[in-house]
Chain A
Amino acid sequence: MNQSGMLTAEDGGEKMMENIALTKPPRGDETDLAKIRLQYAKHAEPVGTIPEPTPPGIAAVLMDKLGERLAFERSGTRLYDALMVKCAADKSCGVPAKELKHLRDEEAMHFALVGAAIQALGGDPTAQTPWADVAGVEGMGLMQVLTDPKTTVAQALHAILVAEMTDNAAWDELVELTGQAGNDDLVGRFAKARDEEQEHLEKVQGWYKQAVQAAGAAGAGRVRATG
């Protein structure tokens, strides 16, 4: 039984409510906290720099963003690896294993595509750029959801959905940036990858909706075995 809410507490809930009247807080409000954040923000160093040699103008942004895509597609492949295990553990989940594997392999190919592009532009695909680092921080929660044996296929698909929605927006951005940098060859290859990612998103959305409906039909939430 879920015990996190106050309604499940015997008289504890009423006692907790007394806390509101009993509290004499320090003066101020939550803007005090914001002021400290602001002080630190004003003096913060950046996450890091783009590996040398730094290309000029928009090409520098493109290189940083290519690093982000490289990192995201690599992590995305691992997210799909985890999802495949999750689906294998629930044979009735309705997600076709072959299609899932296809999506996973395309993520890996996009990783390779971006790595080759960085190299062709004179960059170092083994380096971690600032945007790549931040993307890694963003994705930490997604991987936690996907690799936790307790989460359901629907919950895992939701995490993938978050990743795919971000990925779609990011590929649009990358195509645009590549165009601005005047590299038509890459624009074509990246546009193909973007189209594939759009298919990923549609498929994941469909599987996710189906999984949520199935959970509803089976009764809300899984009944937890003792222990």
Chain B
Amino acid sequence: MKPTLLENRGVPLEKQKFTWRDLVQKPISKLDDDAYTRVRIILMNGIELEAHRFSHSAARMNGPELQLPLAQVRRIEQHQATMINWLIGADHSPLETTIAYEQVAIDVTAAVAMNEPDDYLAQVYRFGLLEDFDHMYRYSALLDRLEGKDANNILQSYTDILPGRPTLVEHRAPQDDLRRPYDRKKAAPLSKLHALTIMAAEQQTHNFYMNIGPMYADPVARQLYAEIASIEEQHVTQYESIIDPTESWLEKWVLHELGEVYNYHGCMEQESNPRIKAIWERFCDYELGHLRLAIELFEKHERRDVAEILPESLPEPIPFASQREFVRETLAGEVDLRANGTEMVPKSKDSKASIAYREQMNSEGSPSETVSAGYKWAPGSELKLKVA
């Protein structure tokens, strides 16, 4: 049953408690759990880390009346993020986890693009999707050629491993990464939730690549992470720019909490592992408590009715499922699109500034092209195509 937002008060903050033992639970099984359990874990960690990023920004730009409640909620979110992120087992190499991150970026972004009511925003998602799709191909080549492993062990055949918009042409001048924001007064609640969700996933991916890139000894791996982390930074720039910057801090806080409720609820409804499902249920109740607090502060300080920014009920959840056909159709129709300013344009109208920028960045070689030179995914390894 969907929570009736303005009626369900969730768990009050003072009852949201943890212990260190509670934070560190049994990880999922890399081999036995469904790939979408891992996808949900990664997505929800991203949602919580975005909550942190927002909360710290808000605390730096507001006075004590918000700093304390932000700190109180943030402490709980810290522990939510920990419990969730620690569910990834240590038998995942950082590169295998990377494959899972790209599966999130592909299948969740595709689902969002399919269900996004705003045509322009849907195009923005499809545009980003084809870039993450290409990252999957490049990282799969690296996984095969560096660790001798098959990316499909992680993907479980849900997600294709094919070239997308080549990573080497994804490098753009900053002005070509900014998009037009939705209008906070006109946008559908689902559009706002989509934007927050994908922005959260991308900022987490960016941070993850920045942290694990230097853990590799192999210079080719270090170069590839450097290159793709740069694109993830562009994606964060893109997705944060679609959010209306005239939303007040408190409006944004309420929407962040709403987004957390929405996504935990979606995870809860679709989770196949009962132990993980219980975590989603628990945290959905916690988020309703956070939402309640943010609403009270919104109404108190802004003297506005929260009904003007909240939907009466939660929209349908983002589906966690293979989006292979949608991705293939998008690939066939839009792989040659480029960004010029805020618009997606044919390759012939590509931005001169972006062309100049990428020529500079690629002038000493392209890590993504090098790592995947001649690479075709095959079950087990590309070696099967060569040895047979």
- Do chains A and B stick together as partners? yes
Cross-chain contact of A25 among B35, B220, B276, B373 (Cβ < 8 A): B373
Q: How many residues of A contact B (CB 8 A)?
A: 39
In the complex, are the beta carbons of B35 and A3 less than 8 A apart?
A: yes
Cross-chain contact of A26 among B145, B160, B373 (Cβ < 8 A): B373
Kindly supply a per-residue 1/0 record for chain A positions 17-39, scoring 1 wherever the CB is within 8 Å of any chain B CB and 0 otherwise. 10110111111111011011101
Please measure, in the bound complex, the distance between the C-alpha atom of A29 and the C-alpha atom of B373, giving whole angstroms. Answer: 5
Please measure, in the bound complex, the distance between the C-alpha atom of A27 and the C-alpha atom of B372, giving whole angstroms. Answer: 9
Tell me the smallest distance from the CB of B256 to a CB of chain A, in Å.
Answer: 30
Please measure, in the bound complex, the distance between the C-alpha atom of A6 and the C-alpha atom of B151, giving whole angstroms. Answer: 12
A31 and chain B: residue at smallest CB distance:
B373
In the complex, are the beta carbons of A40 and B161 less than 8 A apart?
A: no
In the complex, are the beta carbons of A25 and B156 less than 8 A apart?
A: no
Given contacts A4-B31, A224-B32, contact A32 B370 (CB under 8 A): yes
Please measure, in the bound complex, the distance between the C-alpha atom of A144 and the C-alpha atom of B379, giving whole angstroms. Answer: 27
Tell me the smallest distance from the CB of B65 to a CB of chain A, in Å.
Answer: 43
Residues from chain B with a CB closer than 8 A to the CB of A195 are: none
In the complex, are the beta carbons of A36 and B31 less than 8 A apart?
A: no
Tell me the smallest distance from the CB of A151 to a CB of chain B, in Å.
Answer: 9
Kindly supply a per-residue 1/0 record for chain B positions 147-162, scoring 1 wherever the CB is within 8 Å of any chain A CB and 0 otherwise. 0000011101110111
Majority secondary structure, B binding face: loop
Please measure, in the bound complex, the distance between the C-alpha atom of A17 and the C-alpha atom of B220, giving whole angstroms. Answer: 27
Residues from chain A with a CB closer than 8 A to the CB of B220 are: 33, 36-37
Interface presence of B322 (CB below 8 A): yes
In the complex, are the beta carbons of A24 and B145 less than 8 A apart?
A: no
Kindly supply a per-residue 1/0 record for chain B positions 255-277, scoring 1 wherever the CB is within 8 Å of any chain A CB and 0 otherwise. 00000000000000000011110
Given contacts A33-B371, A224-B32, contact A20 B376 (CB under 8 A): yes
Interface presence of A98 (CB below 8 A): no
Scan residues 20-36 of chain B and give those whose CB is less than 8 A from a CB of chain A. 26-27, 29-35
Given contacts A23-B162, A144-B90, A227-B275, contact A12 B373 (CB under 8 A): no
In the complex, are the beta carbons of B365 and A6 less than 8 A apart?
A: no
Residues from chain B with a CB closer than 8 A to the CB of A29 are: 373-374
Given contacts A4-B156, A9-B156, A227-B273, contact A25 B90 (CB under 8 A): no
Cross-chain pair count, CB within 8 angstroms: 124
Scan residues 366-382 of chain B and give those whose CB is less than 8 A from a CB of chain A. 367, 369-379
Residues from chain B with a CB closer than 8 A to the CB of A2 are: 31-32
Residues from chain B with a CB closer than 8 A to the CB of A37 are: 218-220
In the complex, are the beta carbons of B373 and A28 less than 8 A apart?
A: yes
In the complex, are the beta carbons of A19 and B162 less than 8 A apart?
A: yes
In the complex, are the beta carbons of B157 and A9 less than 8 A apart?
A: yes
Residues from chain A with a CB closer than 8 A to the CB of B367 are: 36
Tell me the smallest distance from the CB of A215 to a CB of chain B, in Å.
Answer: 17
In the complex, are the beta carbons of A19 and B161 less than 8 A apart?
A: yes
Residues from chain A with a CB closer than 8 A to the CB of B145 are: 30, 33
In the complex, are the beta carbons of B156 and A15 less than 8 A apart?
A: no
Interface presence of A182 (CB below 8 A): no
Tell me the smallest distance from the CB of A158 to a CB of chain B, in Å.
Answer: 14
Please measure, in the bound complex, the distance between the C-alpha atom of A59 and the C-alpha atom of B276, giving whole angstroms. Answer: 57
In the complex, are the beta carbons of B371 and A16 less than 8 A apart?
A: no
Tell me the smallest distance from the CB of B186 to a CB of chain A, in Å.
Answer: 39
Kindly supply a per-residue 1/0 record for chain B positions 214-228, scoring 1 wherever the CB is within 8 Å of any chain A CB and 0 otherwise. 000111100100000
Tell me the smallest distance from the CB of B311 to a CB of chain A, in Å.
Answer: 33
In the complex, are the beta carbons of A25 and B32 less than 8 A apart?
A: no
Kindly supply a per-residue 1/0 record for chain B positions 345-379, scoring 1 wherever the CB is within 8 Å of any chain A CB and 0 otherwise. 00000000000000000000101011111111111
Interface presence of B189 (CB below 8 A): no
In the complex, are the beta carbons of B373 and A36 less than 8 A apart?
A: no
Please measure, in the bound complex, the distance between the C-alpha atom of A110 and the C-alpha atom of B218, giving whole angstroms. Answer: 33
Residue from the set A1, A22, A33, A148 with the largest chain B CB neighbour count within 10 Å: A33
Tell me the smallest distance from the CB of A47 to a CB of chain B, in Å.
Answer: 11
Kindly supply a per-residue 1/0 record for chain A positions 177-217, scoring 1 wherever the CB is within 8 Å of any chain B CB and 0 otherwise. 00000000000000000000000000000000000000000
Given contacts A2-B31, A3-B32, A16-B161, 14 further A-B pairs with CB under 8 A are A3-B33, A4-B31, A4-B153, A8-B156, A23-B375, A23-B377, A24-B163, A27-B374, A28-B369, A32-B369, A36-B223, A148-B90, A226-B273, A226-B274
Q: What are 24 residue pairs bridging A and B, where the CB atoms are less than 8 Å apart in the complex?
A: A4-B30, A4-B156, A12-B157, A16-B152, A16-B379, A19-B161, A20-B376, A22-B162, A23-B375, A25-B375, A26-B374, A30-B373, A30-B374, A32-B373, A32-B374, A33-B371, A36-B219, A36-B370, A144-B90, A144-B91, A150-B91, A224-B29, A227-B26, A227-B274
